[in-house]
Amino acid sequence: MLPCTQKLQDLSWKPKGIILSGGPYSVYDDDAPHVDPAIFELGVPILGICYGLQEIAWHNGKNVVAGTEREYGHSELKAKRFDGHVDMLFKDLEDDLKVWMSHGDKLGALPPSFHIIATTKNAPFAGIAHETKPLYGIQFHPEVTHTPRGIKLLENFAVGICKAKQDWTMDKFVDKELARIRALVGEKGQVLGAVSGGVDSTVAAKLMHEAIGDRFHAVLVDNGCMRLNECEQVKKTLTEHLGINLTVVDASDLFLDGLKGITDNPEAKRKFIGGTFIDVFEAEALKIEEAAANSPKAGKIEFFLQGTLYPDVIESISFKGPSATIKTHHNVGGLPERMMNGQGLKLIEPLRELFKDEVREMGRKLGIPHDLIMRHPFPGPGIAIRVLGEVTREQVAIARKADYIFIEEIKAAGLYDQISQAFAALLPVKAVGVMGDKRVHQQVISLRAVQTTDFMTANIFRFDWDFLERVSTRIVNEVDGVCRVEYDLTSKPPGTIEME
Protein backbone atom coordinates (compact mmCIF):
# COMPACT_ATOMS: atom_id res chain seq x y z
CA MET A 1 0.00 0.00 0.00
CA LEU A 2 1.34 3.40 -1.01
CA PRO A 3 0.16 6.97 -0.45
CA CYS A 4 -1.96 8.27 -3.32
CA THR A 5 0.66 10.95 -3.88
CA GLN A 6 3.13 8.27 -5.02
CA LYS A 7 4.88 9.25 -8.27
CA LEU A 8 4.76 6.50 -10.85
CA GLN A 9 8.25 7.30 -12.15
CA ASP A 10 9.71 6.52 -8.72
CA LEU A 11 8.51 2.89 -8.77
CA SER A 12 11.02 0.27 -9.89
CA TRP A 13 8.20 -2.03 -11.07
CA LYS A 14 5.01 -1.85 -13.09
CA PRO A 15 1.80 -2.83 -11.28
CA LYS A 16 -0.57 -5.43 -12.74
CA GLY A 17 -3.44 -3.26 -11.53
CA ILE A 18 -4.20 -0.33 -9.24
CA ILE A 19 -6.82 0.13 -6.50
CA LEU A 20 -7.52 3.70 -5.42
CA SER A 21 -8.89 3.46 -1.89
CA GLY A 22 -11.19 5.63 0.18
CA GLY A 23 -10.13 8.71 2.12
CA PRO A 24 -11.48 11.54 4.30
CA TYR A 25 -11.10 14.38 1.77
CA SER A 26 -13.31 15.86 -0.94
CA VAL A 27 -11.72 15.75 -4.39
CA TYR A 28 -12.93 19.28 -5.19
CA ASP A 29 -11.19 20.90 -2.18
CA ASP A 30 -8.18 23.07 -2.95
CA ASP A 31 -5.87 20.97 -0.75
CA ALA A 32 -7.31 17.58 -1.74
CA PRO A 33 -4.69 14.96 -2.67
CA HIS A 34 -4.73 13.63 -6.22
CA VAL A 35 -3.06 10.63 -7.83
CA ASP A 36 -0.28 10.93 -10.36
CA PRO A 37 -2.16 11.37 -13.70
CA ALA A 38 0.39 9.01 -15.25
CA ILE A 39 -1.44 6.01 -13.75
CA PHE A 40 -4.23 6.54 -16.27
CA GLU A 41 -1.74 6.18 -19.11
CA LEU A 42 -0.29 2.86 -17.90
CA GLY A 43 -2.94 0.77 -19.58
CA VAL A 44 -3.49 -1.43 -16.49
CA PRO A 45 -6.87 -2.02 -14.81
CA ILE A 46 -7.85 0.55 -12.17
CA LEU A 47 -10.53 0.16 -9.47
CA GLY A 48 -11.58 3.27 -7.54
CA ILE A 49 -13.29 2.79 -4.17
CA CYS A 50 -15.31 5.70 -2.70
CA TYR A 51 -12.80 8.59 -2.87
CA GLY A 52 -11.07 6.52 -5.57
CA LEU A 53 -14.26 6.50 -7.66
CA GLN A 54 -14.51 10.25 -7.28
CA GLU A 55 -10.85 10.63 -8.25
CA ILE A 56 -11.50 8.71 -11.48
CA ALA A 57 -14.51 10.93 -12.21
CA TRP A 58 -12.52 14.07 -11.32
CA HIS A 59 -9.84 13.05 -13.80
CA ASN A 60 -12.54 12.52 -16.45
CA GLY A 61 -14.56 15.73 -16.21
CA LYS A 62 -14.58 16.80 -12.51
CA ASN A 63 -18.23 15.81 -12.02
CA VAL A 64 -18.16 15.41 -8.21
CA VAL A 65 -20.46 17.31 -5.85
CA ALA A 66 -21.35 17.37 -2.17
CA GLY A 67 -24.28 15.05 -1.57
CA THR A 68 -27.57 16.41 -0.30
CA GLU A 69 -28.04 13.16 1.62
CA ARG A 70 -25.05 11.46 3.20
CA GLU A 71 -24.97 7.68 3.04
CA TYR A 72 -23.45 5.80 5.98
CA GLY A 73 -24.11 2.17 6.82
CA HIS A 74 -25.71 -0.70 4.94
CA SER A 75 -27.30 -0.09 1.54
CA GLU A 76 -28.96 -2.32 -1.02
CA LEU A 77 -26.99 -2.29 -4.26
CA LYS A 78 -28.45 -3.22 -7.65
CA ALA A 79 -25.92 -4.35 -10.25
CA LYS A 80 -26.52 -3.80 -13.96
CA ARG A 81 -25.27 -6.10 -16.75
CA PHE A 82 -24.03 -5.08 -20.19
CA ASP A 83 -22.76 -8.39 -21.61
CA GLY A 84 -19.23 -7.04 -21.88
CA HIS A 85 -16.00 -6.49 -19.97
CA VAL A 86 -17.77 -4.35 -17.35
CA ASP A 87 -19.60 -7.45 -16.11
CA MET A 88 -16.35 -9.05 -14.97
CA LEU A 89 -16.38 -6.99 -11.77
CA PHE A 90 -19.69 -8.60 -10.71
CA LYS A 91 -18.93 -12.09 -12.05
CA ASP A 92 -20.67 -14.80 -9.95
CA LEU A 93 -22.25 -12.12 -7.74
CA GLU A 94 -25.96 -11.54 -7.26
CA ASP A 95 -27.69 -8.57 -8.88
CA ASP A 96 -28.87 -7.43 -5.43
CA LEU A 97 -26.07 -7.02 -2.90
CA LYS A 98 -25.82 -5.71 0.65
CA VAL A 99 -22.95 -3.21 0.78
CA TRP A 100 -21.41 -0.73 3.23
CA MET A 101 -21.50 2.95 2.36
CA SER A 102 -19.54 5.74 4.03
CA HIS A 103 -19.59 8.94 1.99
CA GLY A 104 -20.95 12.46 1.77
CA ASP A 105 -19.87 13.41 -1.76
CA LYS A 106 -21.15 11.76 -4.91
CA LEU A 107 -20.91 12.00 -8.69
CA GLY A 108 -22.99 14.81 -10.18
CA ALA A 109 -22.93 13.28 -13.66
CA LEU A 110 -21.58 10.25 -15.46
CA PRO A 111 -18.09 10.83 -16.91
CA PRO A 112 -17.81 10.59 -20.72
CA SER A 113 -17.59 7.03 -22.13
CA PHE A 114 -18.62 5.42 -18.81
CA HIS A 115 -21.55 3.08 -18.05
CA ILE A 116 -23.54 2.94 -14.82
CA ILE A 117 -23.02 -0.60 -13.49
CA ALA A 118 -24.59 -0.27 -10.01
CA THR A 119 -27.03 1.95 -8.12
CA THR A 120 -28.40 2.43 -4.60
CA LYS A 121 -31.35 4.47 -3.40
CA ASN A 122 -29.19 7.53 -2.68
CA ALA A 123 -26.35 6.91 -5.16
CA PRO A 124 -27.38 6.66 -8.83
CA PHE A 125 -23.69 6.26 -9.74
CA ALA A 126 -22.79 3.65 -7.08
CA GLY A 127 -20.77 1.77 -9.69
CA ILE A 128 -19.37 2.92 -13.02
CA ALA A 129 -17.14 1.39 -15.70
CA HIS A 130 -15.50 2.68 -18.86
CA GLU A 131 -17.02 1.37 -22.07
CA THR A 132 -13.70 0.17 -23.55
CA LYS A 133 -10.96 0.57 -20.94
CA PRO A 134 -10.58 -1.51 -17.72
CA LEU A 135 -11.51 1.43 -15.48
CA TYR A 136 -13.99 0.76 -12.67
CA GLY A 137 -15.33 2.91 -9.84
CA ILE A 138 -17.57 1.92 -6.91
CA GLN A 139 -19.00 4.17 -4.21
CA PHE A 140 -19.30 1.39 -1.60
CA HIS A 141 -16.57 -0.37 0.40
CA PRO A 142 -15.98 -4.01 -0.64
CA GLU A 143 -12.96 -4.36 1.67
CA VAL A 144 -14.90 -4.24 4.94
CA THR A 145 -16.62 -7.00 6.90
CA HIS A 146 -19.94 -5.15 6.48
CA THR A 147 -19.99 -5.92 2.72
CA PRO A 148 -20.50 -9.72 2.88
CA ARG A 149 -19.58 -10.42 -0.76
CA GLY A 150 -16.91 -7.74 -1.04
CA ILE A 151 -13.99 -10.17 -1.05
CA LYS A 152 -15.43 -11.88 -4.14
CA LEU A 153 -15.64 -8.54 -5.93
CA LEU A 154 -12.00 -7.78 -5.06
CA GLU A 155 -11.03 -11.25 -6.28
CA ASN A 156 -12.85 -10.58 -9.55
CA PHE A 157 -10.78 -7.43 -10.01
CA ALA A 158 -7.37 -8.69 -8.85
CA VAL A 159 -7.49 -12.21 -10.31
CA GLY A 160 -10.13 -12.09 -13.04
CA ILE A 161 -9.39 -8.64 -14.49
CA CYS A 162 -5.75 -7.95 -13.51
CA LYS A 163 -4.69 -11.62 -13.93
CA ALA A 164 -2.71 -11.58 -10.67
CA LYS A 165 -1.37 -14.98 -9.62
CA GLN A 166 -2.52 -16.53 -6.34
CA ASP A 167 0.76 -18.15 -5.34
CA TRP A 168 1.30 -16.53 -1.90
CA THR A 169 1.18 -19.13 0.89
CA MET A 170 1.74 -18.91 4.63
CA ASP A 171 4.32 -21.71 4.46
CA LYS A 172 6.42 -19.68 2.04
CA PHE A 173 5.98 -16.56 4.15
CA VAL A 174 7.13 -18.31 7.35
CA ASP A 175 10.20 -19.78 5.63
CA LYS A 176 11.06 -16.39 4.15
CA GLU A 177 10.67 -14.59 7.51
CA LEU A 178 12.79 -17.17 9.37
CA ALA A 179 15.57 -16.78 6.80
CA ARG A 180 15.30 -12.98 6.88
CA ILE A 181 15.46 -12.85 10.71
CA ARG A 182 18.50 -15.16 10.85
CA ALA A 183 20.34 -13.14 8.24
CA LEU A 184 19.44 -9.85 9.93
CA VAL A 185 20.29 -10.87 13.50
CA GLY A 186 23.37 -12.93 12.64
CA GLU A 187 24.91 -15.79 14.63
CA LYS A 188 25.42 -13.83 17.87
CA GLY A 189 22.76 -11.12 17.79
CA GLN A 190 20.40 -10.77 20.75
CA VAL A 191 16.74 -9.74 20.47
CA LEU A 192 14.47 -8.22 23.12
CA GLY A 193 10.70 -8.48 22.68
CA ALA A 194 7.51 -7.59 24.48
CA VAL A 195 4.87 -10.26 25.02
CA SER A 196 1.39 -9.96 26.48
CA GLY A 197 -0.08 -13.42 26.03
CA GLY A 198 -2.15 -12.23 23.08
CA VAL A 199 -2.00 -13.99 19.75
CA ASP A 200 0.10 -11.30 18.02
CA SER A 201 2.96 -11.18 20.50
CA THR A 202 2.81 -14.96 21.07
CA VAL A 203 3.12 -15.73 17.35
CA ALA A 204 5.89 -13.15 16.91
CA ALA A 205 7.75 -14.59 19.92
CA LYS A 206 7.40 -18.17 18.70
CA LEU A 207 8.66 -17.17 15.24
CA MET A 208 11.67 -15.43 16.78
CA HIS A 209 12.39 -18.42 19.04
CA GLU A 210 12.25 -20.72 16.01
CA ALA A 211 14.74 -18.44 14.26
CA ILE A 212 17.37 -17.80 16.97
CA GLY A 213 16.43 -19.82 20.09
CA ASP A 214 17.42 -18.45 23.51
CA ARG A 215 19.08 -15.42 22.00
CA PHE A 216 15.55 -14.06 21.97
CA HIS A 217 14.58 -12.55 25.35
CA ALA A 218 10.83 -12.14 25.85
CA VAL A 219 9.68 -9.70 28.51
CA LEU A 220 6.19 -9.59 30.01
CA VAL A 221 5.48 -6.36 31.87
CA ASP A 222 2.74 -6.46 34.47
CA ASN A 223 1.30 -2.95 34.21
CA GLY A 224 -1.30 -3.57 36.89
CA CYS A 225 -4.03 -3.60 34.24
CA MET A 226 -3.87 -7.23 33.14
CA ARG A 227 -6.76 -9.69 33.13
CA LEU A 228 -7.36 -11.98 36.12
CA ASN A 229 -4.45 -14.43 36.55
CA GLU A 230 -3.04 -13.20 33.23
CA CYS A 231 0.65 -13.05 34.11
CA GLU A 232 0.73 -16.50 35.72
CA GLN A 233 -1.08 -18.05 32.76
CA VAL A 234 1.16 -16.37 30.16
CA LYS A 235 4.34 -17.39 31.96
CA LYS A 236 3.22 -21.02 32.16
CA THR A 237 2.17 -21.11 28.50
CA LEU A 238 5.21 -19.42 26.98
CA THR A 239 7.87 -21.13 29.06
CA GLU A 240 6.47 -24.64 29.56
CA HIS A 241 4.53 -25.15 26.31
CA LEU A 242 6.41 -23.00 23.79
CA GLY A 243 9.92 -23.05 25.26
CA ILE A 244 10.33 -19.28 25.08
CA ASN A 245 12.93 -17.52 27.24
CA LEU A 246 10.68 -15.24 29.34
CA THR A 247 11.18 -12.64 32.07
CA VAL A 248 8.19 -11.25 33.98
CA VAL A 249 8.58 -7.72 35.37
CA ASP A 250 6.11 -6.49 37.99
CA ALA A 251 5.78 -2.75 37.31
CA SER A 252 2.15 -2.44 38.40
CA ASP A 253 2.76 0.26 41.01
CA LEU A 254 4.74 2.35 38.53
CA PHE A 255 1.89 2.32 36.03
CA LEU A 256 -1.05 2.66 38.41
CA ASP A 257 0.53 5.50 40.38
CA GLY A 258 1.36 7.32 37.16
CA LEU A 259 -2.19 7.01 35.81
CA LYS A 260 -3.62 9.02 38.71
CA GLY A 261 -5.23 12.23 37.54
CA ILE A 262 -5.71 11.21 33.88
CA THR A 263 -9.49 11.40 33.72
CA ASP A 264 -10.89 12.13 30.28
CA ASN A 265 -8.07 11.86 27.73
CA PRO A 266 -7.67 8.38 26.21
CA GLU A 267 -4.64 9.46 24.17
CA ALA A 268 -2.91 10.65 27.34
CA LYS A 269 -3.47 7.19 28.88
CA ARG A 270 -2.03 5.43 25.86
CA LYS A 271 0.99 7.72 25.63
CA PHE A 272 1.79 7.47 29.35
CA ILE A 273 1.55 3.69 29.26
CA GLY A 274 3.64 3.49 26.07
CA GLY A 275 6.33 5.73 27.53
CA THR A 276 6.45 3.80 30.79
CA PHE A 277 6.71 0.52 28.88
CA ILE A 278 9.84 1.90 27.21
CA ASP A 279 11.34 2.88 30.58
CA VAL A 280 10.82 -0.67 31.84
CA PHE A 281 12.16 -2.28 28.67
CA GLU A 282 15.28 -0.12 28.63
CA ALA A 283 16.06 -1.06 32.23
CA GLU A 284 15.37 -4.74 31.55
CA ALA A 285 17.60 -4.78 28.48
CA LEU A 286 20.55 -3.63 30.59
CA LYS A 287 19.84 -6.29 33.22
CA ILE A 288 19.67 -9.06 30.59
CA GLU A 289 22.94 -7.92 29.02
CA GLU A 290 24.66 -7.85 32.39
CA ALA A 291 23.36 -11.29 33.35
CA ALA A 292 24.56 -12.78 30.07
CA ALA A 293 27.94 -11.04 30.09
CA ASN A 294 29.90 -14.10 31.22
CA SER A 295 27.82 -16.74 29.46
CA PRO A 296 27.88 -18.25 25.96
CA LYS A 297 25.03 -15.86 25.15
CA ALA A 298 27.16 -12.81 25.94
CA GLY A 299 26.53 -9.89 23.63
CA LYS A 300 24.74 -6.61 23.28
CA ILE A 301 21.01 -6.64 22.65
CA GLU A 302 20.76 -5.03 19.23
CA PHE A 303 17.19 -5.73 18.14
CA PHE A 304 13.66 -5.14 19.40
CA LEU A 305 10.76 -7.40 18.35
CA GLN A 306 7.23 -6.02 17.97
CA GLY A 307 4.02 -7.79 17.02
CA THR A 308 2.69 -4.86 14.97
CA LEU A 309 -0.07 -5.81 12.53
CA TYR A 310 -1.18 -4.02 9.39
CA PRO A 311 -4.40 -2.58 10.94
CA ASP A 312 -2.18 -0.98 13.63
CA VAL A 313 -0.16 0.70 10.90
CA ILE A 314 -3.18 1.84 8.88
CA GLU A 315 -4.99 3.30 11.91
CA SER A 316 -1.94 5.00 13.41
CA ILE A 317 -0.05 6.56 10.51
CA SER A 318 -1.50 9.30 8.35
CA PHE A 319 0.07 10.52 5.14
CA LYS A 320 -1.18 13.76 3.66
CA GLY A 321 -4.28 12.51 1.95
CA PRO A 322 -4.90 8.79 2.09
CA SER A 323 -6.01 8.29 5.67
CA ALA A 324 -6.88 9.93 8.95
CA THR A 325 -5.20 8.91 12.20
CA ILE A 326 -7.84 7.07 14.22
CA LYS A 327 -5.84 6.42 17.38
CA THR A 328 -2.30 5.98 18.62
CA HIS A 329 -1.32 2.34 19.10
CA HIS A 330 1.20 1.83 21.90
CA ASN A 331 3.31 -0.34 19.58
CA VAL A 332 3.33 2.00 16.58
CA GLY A 333 5.37 5.19 16.54
CA GLY A 334 6.75 6.31 19.91
CA LEU A 335 7.94 2.94 21.21
CA PRO A 336 10.24 2.02 18.31
CA GLU A 337 11.56 5.57 18.02
CA ARG A 338 12.68 5.80 21.64
CA MET A 339 14.01 2.27 21.76
CA MET A 340 16.02 2.89 18.62
CA ASN A 341 17.29 6.35 19.52
CA GLY A 342 17.77 5.76 23.25
CA GLN A 343 18.86 2.14 23.47
CA GLY A 344 20.21 1.94 19.93
CA LEU A 345 17.98 -0.99 19.00
CA LYS A 346 16.96 -1.99 15.50
CA LEU A 347 13.29 -2.84 15.02
CA ILE A 348 12.00 -6.23 13.78
CA GLU A 349 8.29 -6.45 12.88
CA PRO A 350 7.67 -9.80 11.15
CA LEU A 351 3.86 -9.47 11.30
CA ARG A 352 3.67 -5.89 10.04
CA GLU A 353 2.04 -6.77 6.71
CA LEU A 354 -0.43 -9.32 8.11
CA PHE A 355 -4.01 -9.12 9.30
CA LYS A 356 -5.29 -10.97 12.36
CA ASP A 357 -6.64 -13.99 10.48
CA GLU A 358 -3.26 -14.37 8.74
CA VAL A 359 -1.41 -14.18 12.07
CA ARG A 360 -3.59 -16.99 13.39
CA GLU A 361 -2.77 -19.06 10.31
CA MET A 362 0.94 -18.46 10.95
CA GLY A 363 0.45 -19.61 14.54
CA ARG A 364 -1.06 -22.86 13.32
CA LYS A 365 1.92 -23.42 11.02
CA LEU A 366 4.24 -22.87 14.00
CA GLY A 367 2.38 -25.44 16.12
CA ILE A 368 0.85 -23.04 18.65
CA PRO A 369 -2.16 -24.63 20.43
CA HIS A 370 -5.71 -23.79 19.30
CA ASP A 371 -6.74 -22.03 22.52
CA LEU A 372 -3.84 -19.60 22.13
CA ILE A 373 -4.42 -19.09 18.41
CA MET A 374 -8.07 -18.19 18.93
CA ARG A 375 -7.51 -16.06 22.00
CA HIS A 376 -9.25 -12.72 21.76
CA PRO A 377 -7.00 -9.67 21.35
CA PHE A 378 -5.98 -7.82 24.48
CA PRO A 379 -4.73 -4.24 24.06
CA GLY A 380 -1.25 -3.25 25.22
CA PRO A 381 -2.60 -0.68 27.70
CA GLY A 382 -4.85 -3.45 29.03
CA ILE A 383 -7.80 -2.71 31.26
CA ALA A 384 -6.62 0.91 31.51
CA ILE A 385 -8.51 1.70 28.30
CA ARG A 386 -11.51 -0.32 29.45
CA VAL A 387 -11.87 1.79 32.58
CA LEU A 388 -13.31 5.00 31.17
CA GLY A 389 -12.13 7.95 33.20
CA GLU A 390 -9.45 7.81 35.89
CA VAL A 391 -7.70 4.47 36.34
CA THR A 392 -7.38 3.36 39.96
CA ARG A 393 -6.68 0.01 41.58
CA GLU A 394 -10.31 -0.20 42.69
CA GLN A 395 -11.69 0.57 39.23
CA VAL A 396 -9.36 -1.93 37.56
CA ALA A 397 -10.44 -4.62 40.05
CA ILE A 398 -14.12 -4.03 39.20
CA ALA A 399 -13.56 -4.15 35.43
CA ARG A 400 -11.26 -7.19 35.76
CA LYS A 401 -13.79 -9.26 37.72
CA ALA A 402 -16.69 -8.32 35.43
CA ASP A 403 -14.60 -9.20 32.39
CA TYR A 404 -13.67 -12.58 33.88
CA ILE A 405 -17.35 -13.43 34.46
CA PHE A 406 -18.31 -12.36 30.92
CA ILE A 407 -15.58 -14.42 29.23
CA GLU A 408 -16.24 -17.40 31.51
CA GLU A 409 -19.91 -17.42 30.49
CA ILE A 410 -19.01 -17.02 26.80
CA LYS A 411 -16.75 -20.07 26.99
CA ALA A 412 -19.32 -22.08 28.95
CA ALA A 413 -21.88 -21.34 26.23
CA GLY A 414 -19.48 -22.53 23.50
CA LEU A 415 -19.44 -19.11 21.85
CA TYR A 416 -15.82 -18.06 22.33
CA ASP A 417 -14.49 -19.04 18.88
CA GLN A 418 -17.50 -17.43 17.18
CA ILE A 419 -16.59 -14.06 18.70
CA SER A 420 -13.56 -12.06 17.56
CA GLN A 421 -13.23 -9.90 20.68
CA ALA A 422 -15.23 -9.50 23.87
CA PHE A 423 -14.71 -7.62 27.11
CA ALA A 424 -16.35 -5.72 29.94
CA ALA A 425 -15.71 -2.00 30.36
CA LEU A 426 -16.40 0.21 33.36
CA LEU A 427 -18.28 3.41 32.52
CA PRO A 428 -17.55 6.72 34.32
CA VAL A 429 -21.15 7.09 35.48
CA LYS A 430 -23.30 5.88 38.35
CA ALA A 431 -26.91 4.72 38.36
CA VAL A 432 -29.51 4.15 41.03
CA GLY A 433 -30.37 0.58 41.95
CA VAL A 434 -32.20 -1.41 44.57
CA MET A 435 -30.12 -4.12 46.24
CA GLY A 436 -30.93 -5.87 49.51
CA ASP A 437 -34.11 -3.82 49.85
CA LYS A 438 -32.19 -0.58 49.91
CA ARG A 439 -31.37 2.13 47.43
CA VAL A 440 -27.82 2.18 46.08
CA HIS A 441 -25.90 4.53 43.76
CA GLN A 442 -23.31 2.39 41.99
CA GLN A 443 -21.39 1.92 38.78
CA VAL A 444 -22.30 0.66 35.31
CA ILE A 445 -20.59 -2.11 33.33
CA SER A 446 -20.77 -2.11 29.53
CA LEU A 447 -20.32 -5.44 27.74
CA ARG A 448 -18.93 -5.53 24.21
CA ALA A 449 -18.57 -8.42 21.75
CA VAL A 450 -17.88 -8.20 18.02
CA GLN A 451 -17.29 -10.36 14.96
CA THR A 452 -14.70 -9.45 12.33
CA THR A 453 -11.93 -10.94 10.21
CA ASP A 454 -9.70 -7.93 9.60
CA PHE A 455 -10.45 -5.77 12.71
CA MET A 456 -10.77 -2.74 10.43
CA THR A 457 -14.56 -3.11 10.61
CA ALA A 458 -16.68 -5.19 12.96
CA ASN A 459 -20.29 -6.23 13.57
CA ILE A 460 -21.81 -6.70 17.01
CA PHE A 461 -22.30 -10.28 18.19
CA ARG A 462 -25.98 -11.16 18.63
CA PHE A 463 -26.34 -12.94 21.98
CA ASP A 464 -29.70 -14.32 22.99
CA TRP A 465 -31.44 -12.52 25.82
CA ASP A 466 -31.17 -15.44 28.25
CA PHE A 467 -27.37 -15.32 27.95
CA LEU A 468 -27.18 -11.56 28.53
CA GLU A 469 -29.56 -11.79 31.47
CA ARG A 470 -27.43 -14.55 33.03
CA VAL A 471 -24.22 -12.53 32.65
CA SER A 472 -25.87 -9.38 33.97
CA THR A 473 -27.20 -11.21 37.03
CA ARG A 474 -23.80 -12.71 37.82
CA ILE A 475 -21.95 -9.40 37.49
CA VAL A 476 -24.39 -7.48 39.66
CA ASN A 477 -24.38 -10.25 42.28
CA GLU A 478 -20.63 -10.95 42.30
CA VAL A 479 -18.92 -7.62 41.57
CA ASP A 480 -19.06 -5.16 44.44
CA GLY A 481 -19.92 -1.63 43.38
CA VAL A 482 -21.91 -2.47 40.23
CA CYS A 483 -25.69 -2.20 39.96
CA ARG A 484 -26.24 -1.97 36.19
CA VAL A 485 -25.03 -3.89 33.12
CA GLU A 486 -25.44 -2.63 29.54
CA TYR A 487 -24.68 -4.25 26.16
CA ASP A 488 -22.94 -2.12 23.52
CA LEU A 489 -24.79 -2.35 20.17
CA THR A 490 -22.35 -0.19 18.16
CA SER A 491 -20.57 -1.61 15.12
CA LYS A 492 -17.18 -0.43 13.79
CA PRO A 493 -17.55 2.07 12.25
CA PRO A 494 -18.87 4.31 13.72
CA GLY A 495 -17.40 3.03 17.00
CA THR A 496 -13.96 1.54 17.53
CA ILE A 497 -13.69 -1.93 19.03
CA GLU A 498 -12.05 -0.72 22.23
CA MET A 499 -13.76 1.95 24.32
CA GLU A 500 -10.73 4.26 24.40
Binding positions for ATP: 196-202
User: Nearest Cα to 350, choosing from 301, 302, 310?
Assistant: 310
- Is 47 within 8 Å of 136 (Cβ atoms)? yes
Task: Measure the CA–CA gap between 156 and 6, rounded to whole angstroms.
Answer: 25
Question: What are the respective helix, strand and coil percentages of the chain, to the nearest 5?
Answer: 35, 25, 40
Written as one string, the DSSP assignment of 227-264 is PTTHHHHHHHIIIIIT---EEEEE-HHHHHHHTTT--S
Pick the catalytic residue: 4, 59, 71, 143?
A: 143
Please list the residues that pair with 487 across neighbouring strands.
447
Pick the catalytic residue: 50, 225, 231, 483?
A: 50
Classify 213 in phi/psi space as left (phi over 0), alpha (psi -120 to 50) or beta. left
Written as one string, the DSSP assignment of 163-220 is -------HHHHHHHHHHHHHHHHTTT-EEEEE--SSHHHHHHHHHHHHHHGGGEEEEE
Q: Is 141 a catalytic residue?
A: yes
Q: Is 4 a catalytic residue?
A: no
Pick the catalytic residue: 103, 130, 141, 209?
A: 141
Binding-site residues from annotation: 196-202
CA distances from 243 to 475, 482, 492 (A): 37, 41, 37
- Is 117 within 8 Å of 129 (Cβ atoms)? yes
Task: Measure the CA–CA gap between 380 and 327, rounded to whole angstroms.
Answer: 13
Task: Measure the CA–CA gap between 20 and 137, rounded to whole angstroms.
Answer: 9
Q: Is 225 a catalytic residue?
A: no
Catalytic residues: 50, 141, 143
